[in-house]
């Protein structure tokens, strides 16, 4: 696919992955429209931090995924849509499952209807490895059963099934990508890697939830590359594709690895408020990425050690932004 001059919409463009995707698409010459949730602060999220030439090349649409008028207007005249917009906080989904469901399912329905009406060339819908729940077998392939172990994961299952149904019912050219624990610069400190790093840089101890669960971490540049390659592949239409490295590490071991990068030995404590409800915890995630390799030609290029070093270096230079947002982050 030639991206030069191609009209592309990214929902959730102000978020962690979305902002990196916008940069990658602009670098390829696409004309990028960004749907960003309106707020009274006038902030565009992480789009406020992209390079000036990137910011000058994009079109920003403010609104809410739950507003069908906004979504239809944003999708109109676009060729490709990357749908990343969602409420992604698992802890918040315990507090407000109704809002999470309304945005993640209802918002996705609006995107699907708008894409169908506009006759878009391709929709890339973003899922999450959380939909698998605790692994029943590993590595986890796309055929693994889904299990909503949190309201957030249940909402994403609902969104994924809607996307599947629109392909099967209406022939909508949609591909679902399912990232495994994406990390990197700009990630919210609610996520485990920046949580560890921020505390390690600012405190004498680290407070976490459970240390035994394992995760399959994928650097953000690799996730973004997989999304773009999924959009380029005709064979991926109607398919769901895992984007994971195929390696797992426990949270406890992750702390040790980051300690080595920081050159600092630190005490770790488990805080009850950081621990998920017992039956909600996902104990093991390990991806099978063979379909991504064979179907879209994707494979991760950045090792965990390299990605953690890049993330640590970036975060060390942006600590003030995290300090100013203490009311938003659990650190």
State pLDDT tens for residues 223-268: 999 999 999 999 999 999 999 999 999 999 999 999 999 998 878 8
pLDDT in the model for residue 326: 43
User: Environment class of residue 92 by beta-carbon count within 10 Å: exposed (0-12), middle (13-18) or buried (19+)?
Assistant: middle
Cα 99 → chain centroid: 18
- Residue scoring higher pLDDT (325 or 203): 203
pLDDT band at 276 (very low <50, low <70, confident <90, very high): low
Give which of 32, 75, 37, 81 is closest to 57, Cα–Cα: 32
What domains does the chain contain, in order, with CATH numbers? 7-183+218-246+283-302 (3.40.50.720)
**Which of 67-71, 187-191, 207-211 has the lowest average pLDDT?**
207-211
- Residue scoring higher pLDDT (116 or 204): 116
Which H, E and C letters describe 268-301, residue by residue?
A: EEECHHHCCCHHHCCCECCECCHHHHHHCCCCCC
Q: CA distances (Å), 271 to each of 140, 196, 205, in order?
A: 29, 13, 12
Token code pair at residue 9: 């919409």
- Residue scoring higher pLDDT (6 or 90): 6
CB 46, CB 186: distance < 8 Å:
yes
State pLDDT tens for residues 89-148: 898 999 999 999 999 999 999 999 999 999 999 999 999 999 999 999 999 999 999 999
- Ramachandran area for residue 92 (φ above 0: left; ψ -120 to 50: alpha; else beta): alpha
pLDDT band at 327 (very low <50, low <70, confident <90, very high): very low
> What is the mean pLDDT of the segment spanning 64-68?
98
Instruction: Look at the block and give the residue holding tokens 């600012």.
Output: 202
Cα gap 127→331, rounded to integer Å: 26
Cα gap 200→206, rounded to integer Å: 6
């Amino acid at each position: 696919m030639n991206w030069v001059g191609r009209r592309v919409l990214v929902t959730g463009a102000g978020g962690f992955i979305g902002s990196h995707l916008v940069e990658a698409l602009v670098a390829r010459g696409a004309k990028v429209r960004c749907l960003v949730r309106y707020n009274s602060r006038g902030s565009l999220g992480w789009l406020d931090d992209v390079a000036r030439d990137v910011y000058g090349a994009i079109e920003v649409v403010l609104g809410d995924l739950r507003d069908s008028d906004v979504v239809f207007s944003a999708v109109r005249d676009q060729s490709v849509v990357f749908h990343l917009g969602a409420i992604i906080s698992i802890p918040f989904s315990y507090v407000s499952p109704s809002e999470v469901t309304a945005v993640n399912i209802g918002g996705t329905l609006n995107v699907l209807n708008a894409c169908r009406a506009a006759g878009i060339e391709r929709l890339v819908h973003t899922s999450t490895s959380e939909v698998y729940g605790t692994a029943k077998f590993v590595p986890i392939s796309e055929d693994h059963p889904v299990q909503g172990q949190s309201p957030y994961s249940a909402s994403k299952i609902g969104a994924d099934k809607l996307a599947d149904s629109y392909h099967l019912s209406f022939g909508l050219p949609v591909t679902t990508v399912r990232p495994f624990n994406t990390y990197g610069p700009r990630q919210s400190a609610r996520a485990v890697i920046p949580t560890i790093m921020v505390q390690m840089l600012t405190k004498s101890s680290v407070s976490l939830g459970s240390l035994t669960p394992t995760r399959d971490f994928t650097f953000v540049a690799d996730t973004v590359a997989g999304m773009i390659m999924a959009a380029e592949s005709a064979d991926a239409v109607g398919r769901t594709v895992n984007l994971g490295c195929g390696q797992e590490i426990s949270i406890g071991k992750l702390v040790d690895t980051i300690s080595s990068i920081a050159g600092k030995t630190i005490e770790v404590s488990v805080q009850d408020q950081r621990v998920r409800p017992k039956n909600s915890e996902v104990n093991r995630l390990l991806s099978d990425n063979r379909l991504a390799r064979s179907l879209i030609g994707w494979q991760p290029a950045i090792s965990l050690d390299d990605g953690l070093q890049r993330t640590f270096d970036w975060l060390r230079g942006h600590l003030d932004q995290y300090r100013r947002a203490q009311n938003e982050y659990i650190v």
